[in-house]
A and B are shown apart, each in its own frame.
Chain A
Amino acid sequence: MLETFNSLLLGFSVALQPQILMYAFIGCLIGTLVGMLPGVGPLAGISMLLPATFGLNPIVAIVLLSGVYYGAMYGGSTTSILIRLPGEAASVMTCIDGYAMTQQGRAGPALAIAAIGSFVAGTLGVLGLMLLAPTLATFALRFGPPEYTALLLMGLLVLAYMTGGSIPKTLAMAGFGLMLGMIGIDAMSGYTRFSFEVIELADGIGIVPVAVGLFGISEILLTASQHSLKLPKNPSLRELMPSRTELKQSIGPIARGSAVGFLIGIIPGSAHIISSFISYGIERRISKTPERFGNGAIEGVAGPESANNAAATGAFIPMMALGIPTSPVTAVMIAAIMVHGIAPGPMLIAQQPELFWGFVASMYVGNVVLLILNLPMVGLFVSLLRIPYAYLYPCILAFCILGCYSVSNSVVDVWIMLAMGGVGYVLRKFGFDLAPVALGLVLAPMLELSLRQSLAMSAGSYAIFIERPIAVVMLGLGALMLLISLKPLLFKSQKKDWRSTVGLDEPS
């Protein structure tokens, strides 16, 4: 414990440097704006900013990008509450009761509770990160290729289970992502695969063009014909104060949302999106007055907002401790620190204590910055939405092109982004979830390498996965999730499973 405290002090000595503070502030500010703009989620925002971090030192780069990430988590809630427009997918659940509160003239308390919930959840999440990541990193030193294979497969199966939609469709999308990850030079044999004689494809397809295309471009293609938005009156600072009853009603949902979000965040998948859905479902389920949900229940804002922020923090644990990105966002962040020659993984915390603990401390600082930034400046942020969408989307498209081109100064990346935009548009029209594609792409090289190494270790026997205790537990959990998911397909039961009752089915 004393060691953790000393390490945290080291972290604060890094995070409180004026330069780091400034970048945390810039990150939170950009993130909030990014979260508010429809079509530019945290992933597209971080991807576009990635090239700008190449010239910075790694601590500054990761502080800036993580500021964008959790800033976007908060920014998305502002538009959800005020105009029923979720800037990013995790804020969909906030729309329901947040917007109902706005219509009742209670936009101020809804925004304040969203900010307080985000702050509390973010801070608790950082505490968890601080305590869990070093322990997990020590434990991960026992991991060999079979354990990594099992962990990655479990992540994909959990994702399929959690999304709550069609399991074959979700798994097919994960498979599609894994296939995209096969493009390029095979690390074990040196063969160049599926490159169509395009030299740039020998390095494989990067996460940035795929993510920006699938999430940013496809969103714009779907919404480009919409016009300007009807904005409510900006709430004044006095109107932001929630009443004592509202605060009391929010304590439980914030605590539960923080715990649920953090735990889900650790598991690979679109944690921040899923966690907000589950938190909303739990609050509705345990409420003595569930009929208030959908009609302006403050618990419906407090729970999901806390959950998505806690999940955003939880996602950093496997990234820092295992070097495994659990979401496309953390994959881009790993790319940002790898550019500086630092490999995330179990040895990172021991070898780069300034980076890890500086990052942890900067998250405390970032949470305070967000709280200070967001409440007084909410009016200013909302004014941005007065820009007609006809002007906004061309600029977002131009930013997407700029961001993708500048990652490796290659037009091929822009072509990939546009192709993925078109593919994403069609897939969304057909009701496919795109998150597994990005996750599959990110996990593909690691999964292939660890699977082939495992088979080589066991002279070709798949039994290695059931002979090693850690691997068999992880595979067992994944298989259990898959079986539960397949139950409705195999037995046409009228009874809905828990995922639909907590709102994991398509939100209305």
Chain B
Amino acid sequence: MTESPAPPAKRQLRSDQISGLMLAALALYVWWMNRAYPIGTLAEPGPGYVPLLLAIFMGAMGLLVVLGGGKSQPLAAMEWSEAKRAVALLVACGVAAYALERLGYRITMAALLIFFLGVMERRKPMMVAGVGIGFSVVTYYLFATLLRVPLPVSPWGV
């Protein structure tokens, strides 16, 4: 009995092909942005000279990554199980960065830690409050009071 021939493998995008294309796109973007700066001459290179060289270099490397990426991992096989959590962490830190100079260091950090521990990690409320408030107060004392690193204070003086 002969085995039936395997179905032809579907052409799948590979991780290195995508990342190489992203690098090439970034190089194109830098080249586009760099038009605003004079390239100068070889004897007197201007502010746009080295960025142009770098854009060409990065574009070339991006294309090499694409060309050599045929055997890399298929894009569909990449594991992104922690991505949602990673995005949530980044967004929460972004909100904290926005609030830092508006609400002050202590309130912002306490709120950030309470969010992480209470909402994302679902820890016991007493521990959440203790760690959140304790961390912000202790680090403020350590850095702002003892080491004299200026940290933002809220309009209410906290």
Which of B68, B80, B94, B101 has a CB less than 8 Å from the CB of A418?
B94
Does B82 lie within 8 Å of A168, measured CB to CB?
no
The interface on chain A, measured as residues whose beta carbon lies within 8 A of the other chain's beta carbons, has a size of: 62
In the assembled complex, B100 has its CB within 8 A of some CB on chain A: yes
Is B86 in contact with A222, judged by CB distance below 8 angstroms?
yes
Q: How far is the CA of A189 from the CA of B136 in the complex (A)?
A: 44
Is A222 a contact partner of B82 (Cβ separation < 8 A)?
A: yes
Q: Does A397 contact B (CB under 8 A)?
A: yes
Q: How near does chain A come to B104, taking the closest CB pair, in angstroms?
A: 12
Q: Does B30 contact A (CB under 8 A)?
A: yes
Interface string of B30-64 (1 = CB under 8 A from A): 10010001100111111111110011011001101
Q: With an 8 A cutoff between CB atoms, is A422 at the interface? A: yes
Q: Shortest CB–CB separation between residue A355 and chain B, in angstroms?
A: 22
Closest Cβ neighbor of B113 among chain A residues? A394
Task: Please state if A191 and B65 are interface contacts (CB–CB under 8 Å).
Answer: no
B77 smallest CB distance to A (angstroms): 12
Check: B28 CB closer than 8 A to any chain A CB.
Answer: no
> Which of chain A's residues has its CB closest to B110's CB?
A398
Given A191-B37, A394-B117, A414-B100, A430 and B68 touching (CB < 8 A)? no
What is the CB-to-nearest-CB distance from A348 to chain B, in angstroms, rounded to a whole number?
27
State whether A397 touches B116 (Cβ < 8 A): yes
Q: Do A168 and B65 form a contact, CB below 8 Å, given A398-B109, A401-B93?
A: yes
B54 touches A456 (CB 8 A): no
* B86 interface neighbour in A169, A405, A425, Cβ under 8 Å: A425
Contact flags A384-418 to B (C-beta < 8 A → 1, else 0): 00000011011101110110011001010011001
- B15's nearest neighbour on chain A, judged by CB, is A430
Contact flags B1-41 to A (C-beta < 8 A → 1, else 0): 00000000000000110111001001000100100011001
- The proximity string for A residues 48-92 relative to B, scoring 1 for CB distances below 8 Å and 0 otherwise, is 000110110000000000000000000000000000000000000
Q: List 11 A-B contacts (CB under 8 A).
A: A52-B149, A166-B68, A169-B19, A172-B62, A175-B58, A176-B23, A179-B58, A393-B116, A418-B90, A447-B50, A452-B49
- Across the A-B interface, give the 4 residue pairs with the lowest CB-CB distance, nearest first: A460-B42, A460-B43, A394-B116, A172-B61
Apart from A401-B93, A451-B45, 13 more pairs, CB < 8 Å: A52-B147, A172-B61, A175-B61, A186-B47, A189-B46, A221-B86, A393-B116, A395-B135, A397-B112, A398-B109, A402-B143, A406-B149, A455-B42
The chain A residues found within 8 Å of chain B, CB to CB, are 51-52, 54-55, 166, 168-169, 171-172, 175-176, 178-179, 182, 186, 188-189, 191, 193-194, 217, 220-225, 390-391, 393-395, 397-399, 401-402, 405-406, 409, 411, 414-415, 418, 421-422, 425, 427, 429-432, 447-448, 451-452, 455-456, 459-461, 489
